[in-house]
Chain A
Amino acid sequence: MTDFQPSAMLQAETKIGSGHQSKGGLLRSQYNTGVWWRHLLALLALAFALFPIVFIVSSAFNNAGTLSTSGLLPSAPGVRNFEKLFNDPIRPFWTWMRNSILICGLGSIFTVLLGAAAAYAFSRLRWQGRRVGLLAILLIQMFPAILGFAAIYLTFAKVGELFPGVGLNTLGGLILVYLGGAMGANIWLLKGYFDTVPKELDEAAKVDGASHARIFFTLTLRLVAPILATVGMLAFVGLWGEFLLASIFLTNVDSQTLAVGLWQTRNADQDRLFGQFVAGALIASVPVVLLYLALQRQLIGGLTQGSVK
């Protein structure tokens, strides 16, 4: 924002912001009226944004642990919900956590590798069919994998009979499914960034006798590291919240992710297990919320560019 603030703009926002405020006299008194009304409305918005989060936190630390006793303030503060969560023999929270970390970790690493390799081919190399390839990827991206969920389910039920390692109820199989769209998912974001790296660097390295693989691994990947980090985090956050495919794939309690496990915890008893569920939900939210707060600009920027480009 520039340091110049035209008064018309102020008025405009006033008018939009609070329709009932009179227009007359605003120009004269705008410095005196200050910005308190902006704070007021922003606080109202904050109340809307935060009350469910306050509810989550206070229910998690509510010893009574049922939905009926939960409110915006814990009726009996304590950590009993967490104790119940960690010691439930039929709902292995830490196993779910491990599964989620494995799936999201490996999934996002491979997503970055596949995406970066594809972006390199489309951005740095010149070959016949490049344009067609890019358009094909664009076209395929229009159809999200979840639309084929029934086909994926049936296919993997059969695959599992022959290759139990990647069938239903295996982390390997689910990671594979997630990687189906990995090459194309972030191709525009990645290619755009790859294009900003000067080509002269590649050419100089080539003159020095470096092979394409060497340029890719030792030069290009280092120069595009920021976008790789962004894509990796986007993939991680996306997979962390993925529910549909995980719920179809993982029916054994020991192979489930946090999303599926917590869903079943709440569904088992909406009222009685609510405290335990919400304690788990709080722990499951912390990593991604921290990630967002630390990297809001990159993540939102990435989301924006990814869909615009």
Chain B
Amino acid sequence: MVTESPETEQQLKFERGEPWWAKSLKWGLILLSITILFYAATVLAEAGHWLFVVITAFVAMGVLIVYATRRCVPFKYLYPGILLTLALQIWPIVYTVGMSFTNYGYGHLVSKEEAIQAIEASSVRQVEGSQRYGLAVAIPEGQDPATGEIVFLLTSPDGSINAGSLDGLEPVDPESVQTSERGRITEADGYTVLTGSQVNARSVELSEFAVPTESGGIKMIGLSEAFIGEATRVYDASSDTIQDKVTGQVFVVKDARFVPRDGVGSGLPQGWVENVGFDNYTRALTDPQLRTGFVNVIVWNFVFAFLSVITTFLLGMFLALLLNDPRLKGKAVYRSLLILPYALPGYITALVWGSMYNRDFGLINELFHLNINWLGDGTLAKIAILITNLWLGFPYMFIVCTGALQAIPSDVREAAAIDGASAFRTVRSIIMPLLLVAVGPLLIASFAFNFNNFGLIFLLTGGGPFEGGQSMIGSTDLLITMAYRLAIGGTTPNFGFAGAISVFIFIIVAVISYLGFRQTSALEDVN
């Protein structure tokens, strides 16, 4: 592959030492990364994330040790890759596993202290003579108006300005804000002031929102005013309860929330994150609502991956055998055209096939004069998915098998022919085993890929149809699409449960990969 051409010989004549520009580039890059890391550390320190400040310092020290000295040569090539792997491969795995042992999710997003604070603040009622503020609702600059962290910009009667968030009040320099003629804040450095319609869009959230103060909180009243009031619900640390001073109701802790002690009425919406041990894992297998659905998902997940591999392999191998004839003209054209389905971006395939299966306007019903609700029935949707994946995947198997077939020495076949083996026998007993040895590891890799083929299922059926009143588990759901719906897809995310499903997948993938690697001897190759 590599020949020693005269050109290569020339490259070997090196001058001693580094050229000046290489040296300055190197030190420039070191300086740049230290500067960026220093900036990151100051931002983190300001926000009070001291652990991350320390980590940043270690990263910066690593840069200096690895790049500013002549030692650690291998690490000069690995350091950025290792950092990225640690931050974006290892950390998400650790985080996911950690999350799977908690109840992290809708209504359980904050710590207990923050939950209590929020409960107290949202129970604030106006009392006689309570102070009023001018109010502008804002979010920190750069955040999305629909989801950004709410900040109250409050103008006191004496003209001083404060920014109130869930963390409390913070004074704002009056010079940094612009006010309208009527004294309303219209712009402020570092914040985006929300418009009337943006505020209205978040009115439910705002009605619960309060800036915590010592004896209560500051709440919004109307669009441009806020009042400071007293909390009617107060936490008592000694008994770990919350008491409502107006109704006298007492709330006790249950399942990381406060619920009425007498069992009458509903619990308070503000819950907190709590360790729940293996609850998420046992829930999947014991909860009567989930159990059947979950087992079905696992079974279908395996069936889908298995049938996808088998069907694509069989069709691909068949076509490879078919076109593997030296007398056949136009092989190159056939091959180029047969590869097209594989070349198309996967999301386009899934979306277009999804439209082709449409009952009323879809191409498939139209072509074959059918009126089948392909994606509306569990079994048909599964068939539709397998057909689509066959279309998507057979070109790959075709190309791979073609390569493997061409590598099988012809004397093997000759020997079989001389021994009088029948045609079918030759393929079954000679060609197939040799082919399987060559492509076996690829079949396992393909299985592992299809096991988590999120894009195809999500874009084609969305996991649906949802039959028998199920809203959480669809007929064509894979574990990963189910985890997606639990974590991000719906309005009430349950990150803990989604994390547990991801861990299930981790384990299954690890077993498959282990079997795959035992096949390939890749592990012994490392030298």
Contacts and interface: CB of A to CB of B under 8 A. Distances in A.
A is bound by B: yes
B352 A8 contact: no
B223 to A, nearest CB: 26
Interface string B491-527: 0000100110010011001100100010010110111
A274 B13 CA distance: 61
Interface stretch (B39-47, B169-177, B243-251): B39-47
A90 interface: no
Interface in B378-404: 391, 394-396, 399-400, 403
Contact of B322 (A42, A198, A211): A42
Interface string A1-33: 111111111111111110000010000000000
A154 B91 CA distance: 12
B143 A6 contact: no
Given A6-B417, A127-B74, A209-B14, A292 B342 contact: yes
A76 interface: no
Given A150-B499, A285-B348, A307-B445, A143 B89 contact: yes
A23 B426 CA distance: 14
Interface in A263-309: 263, 266, 270-271, 274, 277-278, 281, 284-285, 288-289, 291-293, 296, 300-301, 303-304, 307-309
Interface residues of B, number: 135
A155 B95 contact: yes
Interface residues of A, number: 133
A201 B423 contact: no
A149 interface: yes
A185 to B, nearest CB: 10
A104 to B, nearest CB: 11
Contacts of A284: 345, 348
A150 B502 contact: yes
A285 B1 CA distance: 33
Contact of A53 (B43, B341, B484): B341
B84 interface: yes
Contact of B85 (A125, A140, A196, A293): A140
Contacts of A274: 355
B14 A205 contact: yes
B80 to A, nearest CB: 6
Given A12-B424, A53-B341, A304-B403, A42 B410 contact: no
Given A131-B526, A176-B84, A1 B324 contact: yes
A275 B321 CA distance: 38
Interface stretch (A81-89, A91-99, A216-224): A216-224
Interface in A113-133: 114, 117-118, 120-121, 125, 127, 130-131, 133
Contacts of A197: 2
A118 B92 CA distance: 22
B523 A135 contact: yes
Contacts of B328: 35, 38-39
A273 B186 CA distance: 39
State the main secondary structure of chain B at its contact with A.
Answer: helix
A303 B399 CA distance: 11
A127 B72 CA distance: 9
Interface string B402-424: 01001000100110110001111
A12 B423 contact: yes
Nearest to B494: A150
Contact of B355 (A67, A120, A138, A219): A67
Contacts of B96: 147-148, 150-151
A96 to B, nearest CB: 13
Contacts of A142: 509-510, 513
B144 A252 contact: yes
A12 B408 CA distance: 15
B427 A16 contact: yes
B8 interface: yes
A293 B343 contact: yes
A154 B502 CA distance: 15
Contacts of A46: 334, 337-338
Contact of A147 (B336, B343, B356, B506): B506
Contacts of B441: 307-308
Interface stretch (B156-164, B224-232, B278-286, B360-368): B360-368
Contacts of B391: 48-49, 52
B27 interface: no
A49 B341 contact: yes
A278 B352 contact: yes
B325 A8 contact: no
B11 A52 contact: no
Nearest to A258: B345
Contacts of B427: 12-13, 15-16
A240 B81 CA distance: 22
Given A176-B84, A183-B84, A288-B343, A151 B47 contact: no
B376 interface: no
Nearest to B446: A307
Contact of A15 (B77, B343, B424): B424
Interface string B21-59: 010000000000000000010011001010000000000
A9 B355 CA distance: 42
Nearest to B26: A213
Contacts of A45: 315, 319, 322, 338
Contact of B356 (A52, A169, A177, A300): A52
A150 B223 CA distance: 36
Contact of B81 (A117, A177, A205, A214): A117
A296 B335 contact: yes
Contacts of A291: 343
B165 to A, nearest CB: 12
B84 A6 contact: no
A119 B457 CA distance: 35
B260 interface: no
B84 A72 contact: no
B488 A150 contact: yes
B307 to A, nearest CB: 17
Contacts of A198: 2
Given A4-B414, A42-B322, A304-B403, 20 more contacts: A8-B417, A9-B417, A11-B426, A17-B318, A52-B352, A55-B352, A125-B74, A148-B502, A150-B99, A153-B487, A163-B43, A180-B92, A183-B82, A183-B84, A213-B76, A241-B455, A285-B344, A288-B344, A288-B345, A296-B399
A-B residue pairs, 3 tightest by C-beta: A180-B88, A148-B92, A183-B81
16 contacts: A3-B326, A8-B414, A46-B334, A52-B356, A70-B361, A143-B93, A148-B96, A151-B91, A152-B92, A164-B141, A201-B4, A243-B346, A259-B345, A284-B348, A285-B348, A293-B336
